[in-house]
Amino acid sequence: MSRQSLELSQPPRVLASAIGVALTAFSVPSLAQTPIGSTSPRPESPVALDEVTVVGEDVQDYKADTSASKKYTAPLRETPKSVTVITDQVIRDTGSLTLVDALRTTSGITFGAGEGGNPAGDRPIIRGFNAESDTFIDGLRDIGSQTREIFNVESIEVSKGPGSAYTGAGSTGGSLNLISKTAKQRDFGDASVTLGSDQTRRYTLDVNRVLGDNVAGRLNLMKHEANVAGRDGVDVSRWGVAPTITFGFDTPTRATLSYYHLETDDMPDYGIPLTVATADNPGREPAKVDRDNFYGLEGRDFRESTTDAGTIRLEHDLNENLTISNTTRVARTTLDYIVTNPDDSRGNVPNGLVSRSAKSRNSNTQSWVNQTDLTTRFDTGSIEHTLVTGVEISDVDVHNRPYVVTPGTSGNTCTPAHLASGDCTSLYNPSPKDAWTGSIARSAATTDTGTETLAAYVFDTLKFNEQWSLNMGLRYDDYETEQKAVSTAGVVTRPENKSHFWNYQLGLVFNPLPNGSIYAAWSTSSNPSGETGGEGADALSEANQVLDPERNRNYEVGTKWDFLDERLGLTAALFRTEKSNARVTNASGFQESIGETRVDGLELGATGQITRNWKVFASYTYLDAELVKSGAANVGTRTAPVYVEGLYDGNEVPSTPKHSFSFWNTYNLTQDLSIGGGATYVDSRYGDTANNIQVPDYWRYDAMAAYRVSKNLDLQLNVQNLTDKRYFDQVYGSHYAHVAAGRTALLSTNFHF
């Protein structure tokens, strides 16, 4: 079966028609007159396109003072928790085009690699813990397997440390909350054409129109195609549309309706295979080959996905101090791929050959979530309260039926016959265009996983006086997940897990001066079996269905200060995160809740304006992550296992660098011309719990220049990975290391009307 026969339909005319409808609906006579240099407050009048850079503007758009989430009942400066907000201006200035691009601007986050499930999608690791299932859209969990775009993202809030009181199951190292673009009470239009190296072509349109009294609509469109710099045969293609309409801006009752659609069609890339361990050298590393070596098969491999989500948000002010809101989202996500896993531990690399093992998935995720919040302010004596309480109900169903990929030649050792059939290729000179003689069929094996959650929560900030406040949060989750797995032989298993857990957030804040705070905080989180929606090591199984949720605790002290008329924010935090009763293998080869992980760390941050013309967005993170109790390791084989207890105790946590640093800054040379640049450092890190697989540290540099031609036109040039550094941004614990993109130049022409 060829890749073409499996493709989803993506007629370009769909996007062209949508653009035409948008331009017709939002009539020309009402085009915006607001100039690009308007000094209206940022939340009221954002410039919406992600490629646009606004120069000469005196606004504090690298620094956010509040969270979009109602669950944070105090300003960020007085919130006893590490929270980083990646604003729309940071996203645009850095030329970020995906969620992964944007997250690179914040230290303490790395990216994980997978073998199956969602291997090429968003797999952020925050403070040493997997946060793949801890991504939220406007405060609602977004669990579907996907690679997220940012054409409809206003900002990204990164909350660090255990936070199940805010989010529910998961959130061990932290969580991500993507804030969507919504309609505003003014007319504006932005269009952008980005052309770049490696045949990059990106087109975006963002139109907002006031449609009547207290009614406005907004439409975002995107089309993106590109090759991946430094990788032969790897490309990406995607398009999306996101309309939204809001009623009742200045009335007690408000309603927002929105829809989001994204389709992708990429060539998946597992990068470079790892070397084989020997008795003399147990360490493994990426093979020393050319960076552009691609081991996939262009005629077989593919990765296609779709995301559709509709959201209705209702708000009503009962009085000036009491607001009730209800949000409902219904979503469907599909993920369909066949990808080459280079050699898959088959031992051919020392002979200069690579076996093309295939991994596959054909899944769809359907979900709905409903969340009701009540926000109120009141006093009890001299104590001021800002309280939010709510109820959340959700249901997620994941169905997966992968492919059976039959090689043209049997056996795992590469022979001339395997080379002729396309099942193997050269390590040093791979040929992605090889004719492959194998076959693809739908598998008889299926997995259906359903998860239902009912939760209630309450948050309150008690302000005793101008210096002291207490922040408290409490959440209860009734969590139930069930699975029906059918093997290729027709054997049916039905594991299930029912868990009930409480989580807490408690922080004491002291304001020694009006512009600064010092805090001490404690928080918890829980990881029940199956929380990842049927994917990865935490997926539900007969082995872990009876185990209690993993428990995580975080102890943190920190300080947050605003300087230079509150234009510049500085933060510092010391923390310890402990995971107890972690699910690990015991000496008998069974899973048991006996593991323990500990992460000690330091974070520093600087965000905002140093001078009128100089903006910075910088952070540093130190992580000392240790597997305190790792359980038992198999030193035998799969068929004849031999388990040794505590073999990896004291080892470092995989994919967790000790040091990471991110710095980005821009400077306005004139009112119309600005320049910017940044540096990113990530320390070396291990790919496995044995600490035998390691990728080296790296520095990456980026640069930007922007020029405003007129109020209706500006240009921006971004050069990412300026020195064309070869580095690995993901490493898997058995097979491969993913190669990051090489030097990429992007020139954006941005129109405002």
**Of 387, 403, 413, 393, residue with least CA distance to 339:** 403
**Of 615, 680, 626, residue with least CA distance to 105:** 680
DSSP 435: -
Q: Which tokens go with 164?
A: 């199940």
Q: Which tokens go with 629?
A: 């109790």
Residue whose entry in the numeric block shows the structure tokens 């957030």: 505
Q: In this predicted structure, what is the pLDDT of residue 125?
A: 93
Residues paired with 606 in a beta bridge? 570, 618
* C-alpha 444: how far from chain center: 32
* Sign of the four-CA dihedral 162, 163, 165, 168: negative
Mean pLDDT by 10 residues, the chain (753 residues): 38 40 36 36 40 40 94 96 96 95 95 71 88 92 84 97 93 94 97 97 98 96 97 96 97 98 96 86 90 96 96 97 97 95 92 95 94 97 97 95 95 96 97 96 94 97 97 97 93 94 97 98 94 67 89 97 96 97 88 94 97 97 97 88 93 96 98 97 95 95 98 97 96 90 97 97
**Residues 6+ positions from 99 with CB-CB distance below 8 Å:** 122, 147, 148, 149, 150, 153, 156, 176, 178
Beta strands 353-380 and 424-426 are: antiparallel
On the CB side of 296, CA atoms within 13 Å amount to 26
- Taking a C-beta distance cutoff of 8 angstroms, is the pair 252, 287 a contact? no
Number of H helices, E strands in the chain: 5, 41
- Domains identified in the chain and CATH numbers: 4-172+191-752 (2.40.170.20)
Q: In this predicted structure, what is the pLDDT of residue 54?
A: 39
* C-alpha 738: how far from chain center: 17
Q: In this predicted structure, what is the pLDDT of residue 538?
A: 65
Residue whose entry in the numeric block shows the structure tokens 């408690």: 506
Q: In this predicted structure, what is the pLDDT of residue 119?
A: 61
Integer Rg of the chain from CA: 26
Q: Which tokens go with 318?
A: 């009962």
Q: Which tokens go with 467?
A: 């210096």
Q: In this predicted structure, what is the pLDDT of residue 1?
A: 41
Give the global pTM.
0.89
Q: Which tokens go with 426?
A: 């050269």
In our burial notation (b when 16+ CB lie closer than 10 A, e otherwise), range 655-666 reads bbbeebbbbbbb
- Taking a C-beta distance cutoff of 8 angstroms, is the pair 605, 621 a contact? no
Q: What is the DSSP string of 345-358?
A: T-S-GGGTEEEEEE
Beta strands 215-227 and 698-710 are: unpaired
Q: What are phi and psi of 604, to 5 degrees?
A: -130, 145
Residue whose entry in the numeric block shows the structure tokens 């914040």: 106
**Of 176, 66, 158, residue with least CA distance to 107:** 158
Q: Which tokens go with 59?
A: 């606004």
Question: Measured between alpha carbons, how far apart are the two ends of the chain, in Å?
Answer: 48
On the CB side of 331, CA atoms within 13 Å amount to 29
- Taking a C-beta distance cutoff of 8 angstroms, is the pair 477, 453 a contact? yes
